[in-house]
Structure 1
């Protein structure tokens, strides 16, 4: 069952023209929308289904700097500053609080790994620190285990995915942005080699630039336009509990569980380090580029042979822009969670923190996470197609760093000075190739 989302007003039809068109109504696209609207840029967003209908409402809700890839730390810090101001920006509470985050360690080797991360991250003046066993007990009381240590960041936070994105879109509309849901973008048109319009199922929007923030769909969209984006999907299973008094307020991740307090008094709970990697046609196409990452992180995934193979094999890889696209056939990716993994996360959590024993599972859901070979997103122009920008492949980090990513993309699109160095997020690091005319046939 999909998480329940708040409903906000959207526009009935796309405008005939905007300076910038954003494709995708998740945290990345909507953060960019709001940042551009605050700059006074004429901007429109089209979403094939509903706002935050996929992974942007199905994630854990962590807003953290700790443990990030070093390339993402500056973006995470900027995102926290933006999360601090989010209620003011959108005029409503999105559930953000800096309650802290804690990653628990079972062994001295795990502690050493976090010490190495912290040594590198100190250049960014992060507030993370390593806790010893006694300090863990003081910060996180009630555990049945004696932990070897932890990585602890007191100023990291959490927010509510089901609230944040719709409220951000609503705020952007008040500033003059256009937001159209149930409106799939089929592709883009070019004039003299430069992007000049986005073709949707309800007409073409003339524009100077387009930002693709399509999440798990980005590779398919890019491929139809002749742009090779290496992206795979993994399945995460998550549950939320009924309200429960007593357990900690921090966002916590242990070796085989993770949890964080919710605004409604319950908890979001997941099985940490246990995602499902379904074997699909792209698994074979992209094997050379993902092989080293698969070997390095093999303990974090359960391989599901051909679980989604037939479903994805049936999806067309190319279509004319005057024809219905795969995005219209599947408005919302709503995969079923794995009940065994959900139960395992509940059981592991109770074993580690007995205060969760009375917990009642109120809902569970699955979400498809878009990943790149280096687990770092693309937030960049695609040099082969002037005017085309890509932000995708957040690899499970998108909600927390979404506001900073949106600000960065707004600066790249408008030519402003970037808030952080954009080089680590460039598309061409994957050897991106030029678009091939004729793969997508305009109407």
Structure 2
């Protein structure tokens, strides 16, 4: 294990050299990219994954580690369910520990409005075969000992679970490489080359690699990369502050969420804590460029965002949106995006936790960090081809759900590339649902 920035990240040493060619090149070494590479390698496809920094170093290691079906958008739910099935077999599949355990997950209600919301979702889950149910008063006190007695109700899904992001993503990457994938770290992809109107190669800082298909799985960098290709991918970044605390006895092994706090018991004995339903939205020029795309959703979700304007706006304004492929790019200048922690948020989460579960009154914050989530206008990811450029695919915009649904997303992306039947309807995640005007090749 190596110490990375303000939290640990399991080590992964990339391959030394680039191949001259690969069937598929995956751009980005987060959970989506490594799961896609694993699926393709298992099918015997020649796949190269290029990561500009370290495997899993951005949001994929900074998230809460929940793997859940409960509370998901019904459109996304079938993919979540498939991903959970894949998580359950992941340790055996890759021959390594990801920290995944089936612990169940609980959502707490402290108001009638929250209680009604989760009772309604209980019905939605039942329609899809999810085992979520409201707990009895006795079950609440048994499963959540030491609560302060204010809980009105708890929706619990026993089949949900959790993993350790900081070890899971490098472990999956190692398995993909063991099965034939080439994985090169510290290697930014600058752009693509085309021939006869379709993708023919990627241009990296270390050289050019011929390929037939490319997957942009670059998280919050995906919009910028696609823009240099003339592809307008509507995606914004949202900041999520997180902390690790210790000095708290085991309350429950399952992740727990309420309206304004969340916690998860970690494999190392501490807890990951965060403010739930309140992310920070650092305003950027793209917020104004994409206002028309996001305005309908903001009418219902604005309470969950805290807009801020500061240096991020100026940094984004100064970032080149088009560049030549023989020049150093922003991807080489910023190997790992490491936003500053937001102590006020994590301390607010701890204060709320200490009231709801007095055992947290003795908690000590040991690490604080933040990560950028990539969010689409409808909070549903894009997984699939970009018709305007044959051979180009996007798997991005996971809106804070990427770690949990990464295995299913990787399988679906591989199925689409290989022309197989997808595990869920592909149109739900199609690029063209957001940009119907880019439904045909540019030359058509």
Q: Is the 8 A contact 1:227 1:436 kept in 2?
A: no
Mapped to 2, the partners of 1:13 and 1:121 lie a distance apart of 47
Matched, 1:298 2:336: no
* TM superposition shift of 1:139: 2.3
**Which of the residues 150, 156, 159 maps onto 2:160?**
156
Q: Is the 8 A contact 1:54 1:333 kept in 2?
A: yes
Q: Is the 8 A contact 1:49 1:331 kept in 2?
A: yes
Question: SS in structure 1 opposite 2:362?
Answer: coil
Matched, 1:174 2:167: no
Q: Is the 8 A contact 1:76 1:404 kept in 2?
A: yes
Name 1:201's counterpart in structure 2.
205
Q: Which runs of 4+ in 1 moved over 4 A?
A: 432-438
**Which of the residues 223, 247, 252 maps onto 2:251?**
247
Name 1:232's counterpart in structure 2.
236
Give the unaligned 5+ runs of structure 1. 439-443
Matched, 1:426 2:430: yes
Question: SS in structure 2 opposite 1:297?
Answer: helix
1:395-406 alignment, distance < 5 Å: 395-406=399-410
Deviations 1:48-99 (A, max 9, x none): 1110110000000000000011111111111111111111122111110011
Mapped to 2, the partners of 1:297 and 1:141 lie a distance apart of 32
Question: SS in structure 1 opposite 2:113?
Answer: helix
* TM superposition shift of 1:15: 0.9
* TM superposition shift of 1:433: 4.5
Mapped to 1, the partners of 2:351 and 2:247 lie a distance apart of 18
Alpha carbon RMSD of aligned pairs, Å? 1.6
Q: Is the 8 A contact 1:232 1:283 kept in 2?
A: yes
* TM superposition shift of 1:437: 8.0
**Which of the residues 84, 89, 95 maps onto 1:85?**
89
* TM superposition shift of 1:220: 0.2
Name 1:394's counterpart in structure 2.
398
1:311-350 alignment, distance < 5 Å: 311-350=315-354
Give the unaligned 5+ runs of structure 2. none
* TM superposition shift of 1:3: 2.5
Mapped to 2, the partners of 1:41 and 1:227 lie a distance apart of 27
Name 2:368's counterpart in structure 1.
364
* TM superposition shift of 1:421: 1.4
- Pairs aligned (count): 438
Distance 1:58 1:291, change over 3 A: same
**Which of the residues 31, 34, 45 maps onto 1:30?**
34
Distance 1:138 1:307, change over 3 A: farther
Mapped to 1, the partners of 2:125 and 2:390 lie a distance apart of 35
Mapped to 1, the partners of 2:255 and 2:40 lie a distance apart of 31
**Which of the residues 92, 98, 101 maps onto 2:102?**
98
Normalization by structure 2: what TM-score?
0.96
Deviations 1:321-361 (A, max 9, x none): 11111111111110011111011011111111011222111
* TM superposition shift of 1:137: 2.2
Q: Mean Cα displacement is larger for which, 245-254 or 213-222?
A: 245-254
* TM superposition shift of 1:135: 3.4
Name 2:217's counterpart in structure 1.
213
Q: Is the 8 A contact 1:226 1:436 kept in 2?
A: no
* TM superposition shift of 1:33: 0.5
Mapped to 2, the partners of 1:156 and 1:331 lie a distance apart of 34
Q: Is the 8 A contact 1:133 1:146 kept in 2?
A: no
Matched, 1:384 2:385: no
